Structure 1
């Protein structure tokens, strides 16, 4: 596992993120896969890199702040009903515990760095 250390750079685009088929309860489409690599804790927050292949999946979110570093996607908010958002490299998104979402990745893959309590 790669881990955060003061003064040490991690290339989040170069990290190997092992994918698995998204479980059926997430209603994946088109053979969607996803994976994550934890980077450890920072100031009491879990940090890591998450990636999803082109495709569609539903999710129940945790509290999280994420920064998209590669790819393009649409996130639809099913509960609560909010306007869909378009994500691309540089997008910052806050998610809240219990949100019901549908992720549609339009590019070959979507990669984000996340911080979660």
Structure 2
């Protein structure tokens, strides 16, 4: 591995696919992810994820991310809501059931155990 690696995240292309119909609550959201790098020996993946405007359900993995662009509200099963905006660092616990209400297309850099 190189001693220093720079990843121009603004240039990472993320191919989108429609979100599964059984997860869509409203709209016609799409999403996609692109792995950027991994931390060898730790089983950690770092990448870019995007979601278009719309509302969809998900079951989360153990993850931390920084929102680079867009706006959304993450809603939990108990009704708790978290507004997220660019620059926010968000931590998600594995198994958490969420509803993503995306008002402006999201782009985040994520760190996840692969």
Tell me if TM exceeds 0.5.
yes
* Preserved CA contact (<8 Å) 2:7 2:36: no
Provide the residue aligned with 2:109 in structure 1: 113
RMSD: 1.7
Provide the residue aligned with 1:91 in structure 2: 88
How far does residue 8 in structure 1 lie from its aligned partner after superposition? 2.8
Q: Can you give the 5+ residue segments of structure 1 that lack an aligned partner in the other structure?
A: none
* Preserved CA contact (<8 Å) 2:64 2:111: yes
TM superposition outliers: structure 1 runs of 4+ over 6 Å: none
How far does residue 115 in structure 1 lie from its aligned partner after superposition? 0.6
Distance in 1 of aligned mates of 2:54 and 2:24? 11
How far does residue 13 in structure 1 lie from its aligned partner after superposition? 2.3
How does the TM-score come out when normalised to structure 2?
0.88
DSSP 3-state at the match of 1:73: strand
Question: Could you list the per-position Cα deviations for residues 28-84 of structure 1 after superposition, in whole angstroms to 9, with x for gaps in the alignment?
Answer: 421100000011312521111000001111000000001101111110011xx2621
Provide the residue aligned with 1:65 in structure 2: 64
